[in-house]
């Protein structure tokens, strides 16, 4: 999918997300903003299924180590994505979009800073020590936990990614900034690329699918 249709869909869906759907439960998130716990089942991710099976885990680790360019970093993201039921292409696309897989990435905002692999925000995680932001294990753990919170809050990936990037107050209240929509489009483009590459990898290793 090209970026323009993705931006259009993002804009349309986010415009329809200004209120919480009926029949959901609100709770407090990392910033004390309202979120939603739905308990709704999400479609199973093939990569997660194969990663969780010892017979095919090695091939999944090998694929994503190639994506990241670092075997250990790939394993860290895989472990935390599995722990929080995050689809693997989404987890790695987010890490790429946030930091280009750089655990030392740093970005200064007007009133806060973003640090590390998943660009954890200093206001969202005020009690985290500076060195902890740059520890890939801690950063991936908190990044995937926060993404799960955002996905539950948004009830779909588009809104969840918007909340992750801009915060619930902007997405639910004042409207999602254009730069966030552009950021989401880049992540979704890369997510699709990973899905296509993973499918090609499966065709080269049909034994991976035979374990299902």
Q: Which domains does the chain have, with CATH numbers?
A: 3-211 (1.10.530.10)
Q: Quick check: 35 pLDDT over 90? A: no
Question: In the predicted model, what is the mean pLDDT of residues 158-179?
Answer: 83
Q: What are the phi and psi torsion angles at 89 (to 5°)? A: -60, -35
Q: Quick check: 145 pLDDT over 80? A: yes
Which of the pair, 24 or 146, is modelled with greater confidence? 146
Q: How far apart are CA 9 and CA 52, in angstroms?
A: 32
Q: Do 148 and 137 contact (CB within 8 A), yes or no?
A: no
> What local confidence, expressed as pLDDT, does residue 38 receive?
39
Q: How far apart are CA 193 and CA 188, in angstroms?
A: 9
* pTM across the whole model: 0.80
């Amino acid at each position: 999918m090209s970026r323009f249709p993705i931006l259009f869909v993002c804009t349309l869906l986010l415009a329809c997300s200004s209120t919480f759907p009926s029949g959901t439960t609100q709770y407090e998130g990392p910033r004390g903003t309202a979120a939603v716990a739905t308990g709704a089942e999400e479609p199973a991710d093939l990569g997660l299924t194969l990663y969780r099976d010892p017979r095919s885990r090695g091939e999944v680790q090998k694929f994503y180590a190639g994506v990241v360019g670092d075997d250990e970093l790939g394993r860290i993201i895989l472990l935390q994505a599995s722990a929080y039921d995050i689809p693997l292409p989404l987890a790695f696309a987010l890490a790429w979009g946030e930091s280009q897989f750089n655990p030392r990435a740093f970005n200064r905002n007007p009133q806060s800073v973003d640090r590390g692999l998943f660009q954890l925000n200093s206001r969202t995680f005020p009690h985290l020590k500076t060195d902890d932001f740059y520890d890939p294990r801690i950063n991936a753990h908190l990044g995937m936990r926060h993404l799960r919170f955002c996905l539950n809050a948004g009830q779909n990936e588009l809104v969840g990614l918007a909340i992750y990037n801009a915060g619930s107050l902007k997405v639910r209240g004042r409207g999602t900034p254009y730069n966030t929509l552009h950021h989401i489009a880049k992540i979704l483009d890369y997510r699709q690329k990973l899905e296509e590459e993973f499918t090609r990898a499966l065709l080269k290793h049909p034994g991976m699918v035979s374990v299902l």
